[in-house]
Amino acid sequence: MPRFEYLRDPDEIERQSFVQIRQLTDLSRFDADQQQVAMRLAHTSGDPGIVHDLHFSPGAVAAGLATLMQGADVLCDIEMVSHGISKRYLQGKVHCFLNAPTVAERARQTGETRSMAAMAEWPAHLAGSIVAIGNAPTALFRLLDLLDEGAPRPALIIGMPVGFINAAESKQALWDIAPTEFQTPCITLLGRRGGSSLAAATLNALARMANGIRF
């Protein structure tokens, strides 16, 4: 006999997890679709309180679902976001250019972060895409710079970089500017919290909904 008794069935573990999340998380300010994202973030972080930082611009979820169902590509700032995305729910491709051959040298020459340097590859892929930034605040700021310079607009920006320098500021700038000046909806976690797993979880929640899967 095993020494420890615990749930082993993955479907039952997930079912019970989301029962608890609904009990522990204040979802009252979210509509039904937004709740799917909020619950996935609570599940990924293990912290029901994280939803207090979660913000959706008007039409953000609808834009994400529509573009995913049309087979949109996804652009990620780092490989950890890319690896966290469940590709089986996507029709389009997932791109991350951080390890492209020219990026390290470009970053050295310009004195920028590699995440910023990698975004030189982005404009050709931006139009109608979903952007998922989960690590580098400099990548989110650079994206806003690109849009301000007239780069093609993505269908949705998931902005969830993490950290103490530039993270809160970049997400506040996204929230303040993208939906109005760039007419680009966004989903973000305001404040310092964020991370690759949360950006990927947001995309996964949208992709599951686009495939008719809900909790």
Phi, psi dihedrals of residue 86, rounded to the nearest 5°: -80, 100
Separation between Cα atoms, residue 74 and residue 159, nearest integer Å: 13
Residue in this structure with the two tokens 């929640």, named with its chain if needed: 205
Separation between Cα atoms, residue 50 and residue 2, nearest integer Å: 36
Whether 43 is catalytic is: yes
Instruction: Give the alpha-carbon dihedral of 62, 55, 190, 54, to 10 degrees.
Output: -100
Give the Å distances, CA to CA, from 34 to 3, 44, 90, 137, 196.
41, 16, 19, 24, 19
- Active-site residue, selected from the candidate residues 43, 52, 55, 125: 43
Strands 74-76 and 130-133: parallel
Q: Hey, which residues does 187 pair with through a beta bridge?
A: 56, 158
Instruction: Give the alpha-carbon dihedral of 36, 165, 141, 190, to 10 degrees.
Output: 30
Least Cα distance to 82 among 62, 101, 98 occurs for: 98
Which active-site residues does the annotation give?
43
